[in-house]
Amino acid sequence: MADEKSPYVLVSVFKEDAKEQDVTQAAGKIATIIDDWNGQGNMIWSGSFDDNKTAMSVIEGDKAQVESFFGKYNDACKSFLSSYMYEWDAMPLLSLLGQKQATQ
């Protein structure tokens, strides 16, 4: 039996010593990783925060798929980003916001 899909949150923050050339070199790899993810019928929603240093993506997949995605993403970005993956339920603030939206 396959694992159930569930939402995960990927948070990425630019490192203080990030080099523009590293970002430029990784852009193609990142695009390929996201295209492959979408090509498998998986969803990803991404956006950056106002600080221009932090971004958040919500992805949905089973645990093995998400771990594979994160491994590839982190390998491509680790020279300039600190990235963290959380299960949706492990982010209490997001769960509270979701509950608040549902009651409005």
| Gap between the Cα atoms of 13 and 20, Å rounded | 14
Are 1 and 47 contacting, i.e. CB atoms less than 8 angstroms apart? no
CATH number for the domain including 43? 3.30.70.600
Per the structure, the complete domain to which residue 65 belongs is given by 6-103
Q: Identify the three-state secondary structure at position 79.
A: coil
Query: Which is more confidently placed, 100 or 82?
Result: 82
DSSP state, 53? S
Residue 88 in this model has a pLDDT that exceeds 90: no
40: in domain:
yes
69: in domain:
yes
**96 Cβ contact list (under 8 Å, min separation 6):** none
Q: Of 13-27, 39-53, 58-72, 87-101, where does mean pLDDT reach its minimum?
A: 87-101
- How many domains are there within the chain? 1
1: in domain:
no
Q: Residue 29 corresponds to which amino acid?
A: K
